[in-house]
A and B are shown apart, each in its own frame.
Chain A
Amino acid sequence: MSEIAAPAALEPAELERLREIARRIRVEIVRTVDHARAGHLGGPLSAADMLAVLYFHTLRIRPDEPDWPDRDRLILSKGHSSVGLYAAMALRGYFPLEEMATFDAVGSRLQGHPDMLRLPGLDMSTGSLGMGISAGVGMALGARLGGRDLRTYVILGDGECQEGEVWEAAMVGARYRLDNLVAIVDHNRLQQFGWVASAAPERIPHPPEAPGELVAKWSAFGWRVMEVDGHDIAALVRTFEAAARPDGRPVAVIAHTTKGKGVSFMENRYYWHTRAITPEDFAQAMRDLGEDAPDAVEGAR
């Protein structure tokens, strides 16, 4: 029911470059949230690798010409992970990295949830879950009608897929055979609060999620479904390449991920969805992410 992209060679240097970018995105996420004393951690960290691959390898974009009409579109439907998106965009050159320090603050272009009227290069405002995929269907339809050869990528949360609107969009996307549309589900198996697990105090995402449930749902809606380890950079590259070969169906990439990935004490802990960081946590996070410890402690003020 689902495909796994065949292995293909990725230049070791390119692999190394993308890994380093993903690491830097994670560092920026933690630094920025720590500095703003607000924002999300678990969701952005789980999406960091896909953001690195998309912004630095897959997307056909021109950061110095953000409104280029033929650019690929990217919608962060799980808009609460904005800080990860901003980190990727800053590193890619859309705006200076120092601007990350304004995140969440009054007057900032980096609003708590993405605002396309403020930040050039941002293709859609999001923040109310379930909507980005509809906007993505609209962009894919518009690209088709306007004769533009571009692809639209939408990143969704797995919890977000509980929204009925996602399946309305899935229905229409398949009906119009939008093979220029790629939905990427960040399948980290946690959401904000979710349901109590049998081993309380842990919490689980779906009322005991059936294995393969997401794959089965997207397939049943007529989508071509691919599965990938969402932290395996080379596999992400291959999967997005395969997804770009049209076969008449929109593509759903189910990316198996770990919420909080890269920061030891945040991994798989639902309560790190959003939470204030102590100076000790910050230092530990920086060590986990390979930043110099002294620097880290100093950064924690």
Chain B
Amino acid sequence: MTLPMGRAQREIFGETLTEMARTDPRIVVLDADLGSSTKGDIFEKAHPERYLQMGIAEQNMLGVAAGISTMGFVPYISTFVSFAVVRPLDQVRVLIAQTMANVKITGGYAGLFTGQAGKTHQIVDDVSIMRAMPNMVVVSPCDDTEAREVLRWSITYDGPVYIRLMRDATQRLFDDGYAFRFGEVVTVREGRDVTLVSTGAQTARVVDAADILAADGIDAHVIHVPTIKPLDVDAIVAAAERTGEVITIEEHSIIGGLGGAVAETLSERRPTRVRRIGLPDIFTESGTNAALLDLYGLSAPRVAEQVSALLRRA
């Protein structure tokens, strides 16, 4: 059984902020000429006076975000993650993180799915970078439901938040009754043989992989980590204790991301072998979503295959 497709996180981004802004006059969107891609355009139609077009000038945009936040507004960023995190990294660090500015770094196009744009637009080291930055919170929602809940939560948190949103439709893991709890993991499948830890849209593919593994007699325990920083350390330790065998899976580099965070935590708190599935130390290439997931071993069948191989190797 595979999980059904939900809606694209970028549409959720445009719609949810539009709806939030109806009752919250503090919300503004700063765009760097990509509203038609990020679906910031939905917000522009509803709240034109609060849609601030900054042009193709991302360093300035992140600086403007810091400035306008000191005047009581809460800016959400609309551009691809590559251009919201890495291009203006020093602005994010000095003006937003160091000042605890109430700025939400959003926009979408994290990970591999960029409409076949390839290496410049794909970003698989953003979590490592943002996780290492003091004061920065990192949240990576799985599906449309969770993306909406995370956006709604974000306005209640006074400080910088990086919300790792995706471009395309992702499989739906959570139904409408789901309530996001900041800083907590979600156990999405109970099992005894191995603990699979995932985040973002990858979690849904891991849940599907667990079904494949079950057919082969492997009973996987799956936990979803929407808040990568601050990490729910106790829950990670408990999930590791349960099976004594941990594998992390993420649509991100295996260096410094979720896998890094889990390995750091467990080696200090409860030494457990952690093996990491994700992007190796490479720049990725363009292709259709399905082809990329297959190429990089992140589709459900490829994840199942790798997990059983790792367990056989013991």
Which residues does A use to contact B, with CB under 8 Å? 69, 73, 115-117, 123-128, 130-143, 145-146, 148, 164-165, 168-169, 171-172, 175-176
In the complex, B186 has a CB within 8 A of chain A: no
Across the interface, do B60 and A141 meet the contact criterion of CB distance under 8 Å?
no
Chain B 51-76, CB within 8 Å of chain A: the 1/0 string? 01111010111111111111111010
22 contacts between A and B (CB under 8 A): A117-B98, A117-B99, A117-B100, A125-B98, A127-B94, A130-B59, A134-B62, A134-B95, A135-B67, A138-B65, A139-B68, A141-B64, A142-B69, A142-B72, A143-B71, A145-B50, A146-B71, A165-B59, A168-B55, A169-B64, A171-B57, A171-B60
* Residues from chain A with Cβ under 8 Å of B28 in the complex: 145
CA distance A132 to B95 in the complex (A): 9
Query: Could you say which of A123, A128, A134 contacts B70, with CB atoms under 8 Å apart?
Result: A123
- The answer to whether A165 touches B60, judged by C-beta atoms less than 8 angstroms apart, is yes
How many positions in chain B have a CB within 8 Å of any CB in the partner chain?
A: 31
**A135 is contacted by which of B52, B66, B72 (Cβ under 8 Å)?**
B66
A interface secondary structure, majority: helix
CB-defined contacts of A123 to chain B, threshold 8 Å: 70
- Residues on B with C-beta less than 8 A from A169 are 57, 60, 63-64
Give chain A residues whose Cβ lies under 8 Å from the Cβ of B50. 145
Whether B285 sits at the interface, judged by CB under 8 Å, is: no
CB-based nearest B residue for A142: B71
Total of A-B residue pairs, C-beta within 8 Å? 115
Query: From A125, which residue of chain B is reached at the shortest CB distance?
Result: B99
Flag B186-212 by CB within 8 Å of A: 1 or 0 each.
Answer: 000000000000000000000000000
**Residues in chain B near residue A137, CB distance under 8 A:** 60, 63-64, 67
**Chain A residues near B71 (CB, 8 Å)?**
138-139, 141-143, 145-146, 148
State whether A138 touches B59 (Cβ < 8 A): no
A140 to B61, CA, bound (A): 14
Which one of B60, B65, B95, B100 lies within 8 Å of A124 (CB-CB)? Answer: B95
B57 contacts A168, CB within 8 Å?
yes
B90 within 8 A of A: yes
**Which residues from chain A contact B68 at a C-beta distance below 8 Å?**
138-139, 141-142, 145
CB distance from B133 to the nearest CB of A (A): 14
B91 at the interface (CB under 8 A from A): yes
| Beyond A124-B67, A140-B67, 13 extra complex contacts between A and B, CB < 8 Å | A73-B70, A117-B99, A117-B100, A123-B70, A124-B99, A133-B63, A134-B60, A137-B60, A138-B71, A148-B71, A164-B59, A165-B63, A169-B64
Whole-angstrom CA separation of A24 from B28 in the bound complex: 43
Tell me the smallest distance from the CB of B27 to a CB of chain A, in Å: 11
* Residues in A whose Cβ lies below 8 Å from that of B91: 128, 131, 134, 165
CA distance A171 to B60 in the complex (A): 10
Q: Which of B57, B72, B73 is close to A172, meaning CB atoms less than 8 Å apart?
A: B57
Check B95 against A135 for contact (C-beta < 8 Å).
Answer: yes
Closest residue to A141 on the B side, CB-wise? Answer: B68
**Chain A nearest CB, measured from B104 CB (Å):** 14
A183 to B62, CA, bound (A): 19
| A124 and B64 contacting across the interface, CB-CB below 8 Å | no
Contact across chains for B55 and A128 when beta carbons are under 8 A apart: no
Give the residues in chain A near B90, CB-CB below 8 Å.
Answer: 128, 131
User: How many Å from the CB of A267 to the closest CB on chain B?
Assistant: 31
Contact B57 A124 (CB under 8 A): no
Q: Are A172 and B64 in contact (CB under 8 A)?
A: yes
Kindly state the separation between the CA atoms of A8 and B98 in the bound complex, as whole angstroms.
Answer: 43
Q: Looking at the complex, which one of A117, A131, A140 makes contact with B63 (CB distance below 8 Å)?
A: A131
Chain A residues near B99: list those with CB within 8 A: 116-117, 124-125
Closest to A154 in B: B67
For residue B95, which residues in chain A have a CB less than 8 angstroms away from its CB?
124-125, 131, 134-135
- B176 at the binding interface (Cβ < 8 Å): no
CA distance A128 to B67 in the complex (A): 15
Minimum CB–CB distance from A61 to chain B (whole Å) comes to 15
- Least CB distance, B277 to chain A, in whole angstroms: 37
| Nearest Cβ on chain B to A149's Cβ, whole angstroms | 13
Once bound together, how far apart are the Cα atoms of A73 and B66, in whole Å?
14
Residues of A within 8 A of B55 (CB): 168, 171-172, 175
Shortest beta-carbon distance from A128 to chain B in Å: 5
The 9 A-B pairs of least Cβ separation, nearest first, read A138-B67, A134-B63, A142-B71, A168-B57, A168-B60, A135-B67, A138-B68, A138-B64, A142-B68
Q: Does B49 contact A (CB under 8 A)?
A: yes
Q: Which residue of A lies closest to B71 (CB)?
A: A142
Q: What are the residues of chain A within 8 A of B52 when measuring CB–CB?
A: 141, 176
* Chain A, residue nearest B93 (CB): A128
- The residue of chain B having its C-beta at the shortest distance from the C-beta of A128 within the complex is B94
Q: Which of B28, B53, B61, B65 has the most CB of A within 10 A?
A: B61
